[in-house]
């Protein structure tokens, strides 16, 4: 079994920024040479998330609006007394910090309309790191 670990680095524009990382992740899988296994996409950080969603501008706006409605800002959260980003943490927890995809015959398997996105949920622009780990043979 082989393990290839890479990192993506990029900056975000603050709440709520969506960054399509599909091409970068697929390139890492291709370059890894691993034919069959899995690829993990993980963000170390409590106010970022990894999701899959269709890359269509209307839908991306719908997604942002749904997040605002599900977990509104400034609802008197307890964590808000410290740094006013409780809603960022809560949204990140609901979405999750990682996604895992099968790698079959050297390719990451996903649906045609299932792009991979990093979601910036913090209240300010950030430098982000996403770990991509391909495991298999
Ligand atoms: Zn916080």
Architecture of domain 2-136: Sandwich (2.60)
Q: Residue 14: what are its φ and ψ, rounded to 5°? A: 95, -175
**Residue 136 and residue 126: Cα distance in Å, rounded?**
32
How far, in Å, from the CA of 30 to the mean position of ligand 1? 36
CA of 6 to the centre of ligand 1 (A): 27
Per-residue pLDDT tens over the stretch 96-125: 999 999 999 999 999 999 999 999 999 999
Neighbours of 16 (CB within 10 A): 20
In this prediction, residue 14 carries a pLDDT of: 92
pTM over 0.75: yes
**Alpha-carbon torsion 116, 122, 125, 128, what sign?**
negative
Q: How far is the CA of 65 from the centre of ligand 1 (A)?
A: 21
| C-alpha 23 – ligand 1 centre gap (Å) | 30
Structure tokens at 53: 């969603």
Parse the chain into domains and list their residue ranges: 2-136
């Amino acid at each position: 079994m082989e393990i290839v670990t890479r990192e993506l680095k990029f900056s975000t524009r603050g709440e709520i920024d969506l960054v399509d990382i599909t091409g970068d992740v697929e390139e890492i899988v291709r370059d890894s040479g691993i034919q069959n296994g899995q690829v993990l996409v993980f963000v170390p950080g409590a106010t970022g998330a990894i999701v899959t969603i269709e890359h269509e501008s209307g839908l991306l706006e719908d997604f942002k609006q749904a997040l605002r409605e599900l977990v509104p800002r400034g609802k008197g959260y307890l964590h808000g007394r410290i740094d006013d980003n409780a809603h960022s943490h809560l949204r990140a927890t609901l979405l999750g910090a990682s996604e895992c995809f099968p790698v079959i015959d050297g390719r990451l398997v996903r649906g045609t309309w299932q792009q991979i996105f990093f979601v910036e949920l913090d209240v300010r622009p950030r430098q982000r790191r996403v770990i991509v780990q391909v495991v298999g043979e």
